[in-house]
Amino acid sequence: MNHRQKHIDFLDHFRGIAVVAVFLFHSLGTACGRNQLPWANWIADFDVSRTFLVLLPFSLGWSGVAIFFVVSGFCIHLNFRRKPDWRDFTLRRFFRIYPPYLFAVLFFSLLIPWSRVGFDLLGVSQLWTHLALVHNFDNHSFFGISPAFWSIAVEAQIYLLYPILVALVARFGWRRSLIYIGALEVGLRALSNVVLVSTGESPPLWFYGLPFIYWFSWSIGAAVAEAYLSGRTLPFFNHSLLAWSAAAVWPIFRTASQGRIVELQHLSTTSAIPRFGPSRGWEALIFRPSTDCGIRFVPLPLVSYYGSLRHLVSCIRGSKHCVRQAIYHERA
């Protein structure tokens, strides 16, 4: 594969997997009223309906968020390295994201009945925090207008941190920079564990929306892109994908390990890219056209995350009553 080609096909498949994973995660919550097992002291409580146990693998769909952040770091750093101009980078990022985001915010806040904001103080606050991409700093606006928009704010704020990452790498190199940034993210997630264990309650929602919570995860995607462009062995190539995946799943069943889930999911994704990425031929093996039945795989279009997820959540809303009725009859 030409390292200078503008479009990298295998990333489309990672995006597609991420969209499906998040869709299944939210489907589980809508259908069953929960998307994770309840807790019995320090371990997960399996005393739930059979339907939920059958659909329990869908609770791992949160890993789709991990995939999105790693792939984002990969793509953004790749694009900047091809044309290292900060002014051009800022303009491209702004016009790539903000105009469609602005349209989506106005569309859902003014036209769609279930997400329309009022003209009172709360409605105005919802609107301006979303337009300013700071709605992830307040519990009331975090999931306001559209629950999918929180990640757009985090992503935009990570863009503001990107020059700091580049400066750190120039001074200390990738290894030490990732250690410093990783220590910050792990420290914040450890703090959330301390709060959870000591008070029995999770930290406020805005805490989990801080860009520093995802900075390391995004940065390791950038590190993979750097190695990819340089023609070096990609990070985590010699690591066991099975081991990282198992490590990412295990904390789901233990309360005290919850804060480590996201880092492990990001590392699992990073371990997967070298194996299923460029020059591996896996997309030809899995997604090759089927001439026997005339069906061809069409790669997921590069639609925005928030647009696709909003559409999927809307579809879930429409089938919510039917799914709940089916579960009710099964319990009866």
Res 28: pLDDT: 86
Helix axes 9-32, 63-82, angle to 10 degrees: 150
Question: pTM higher than 0.75, yes or no?
Answer: no
Residue 264, pLDDT > 70, answer no
pLDDT in tens, 61-117: 877 888 888 889 999 999 999 889 999 999 999 999 999 999 999 999 988 877 788
Res 324: pLDDT: 42
pLDDT in tens, 30-53: 888 887 777 666 677 777 888 888
Res 107: pLDDT: 92
- The one-letter code for the residue type at 66 is A
Residue 132, pLDDT > 80, answer yes
Res 303: pLDDT: 41
pLDDT in tens, 174-233: 999 999 999 998 899 888 878 877 887 778 989 989 999 999 989 988 998 898 888 776
For CA atoms 83, 263, 299, 148, give the dihedral sign: negative
Q: Which residue has the higher pLDDT, 252 or 280?
A: 252
What the block records as the tokens of 200 is 């029995």
Residue 223's Cβ-count burial label (10 Å; 0-12, 13-18, 19+) is buried
Q: So where are the chain's domains?
A: 9-331
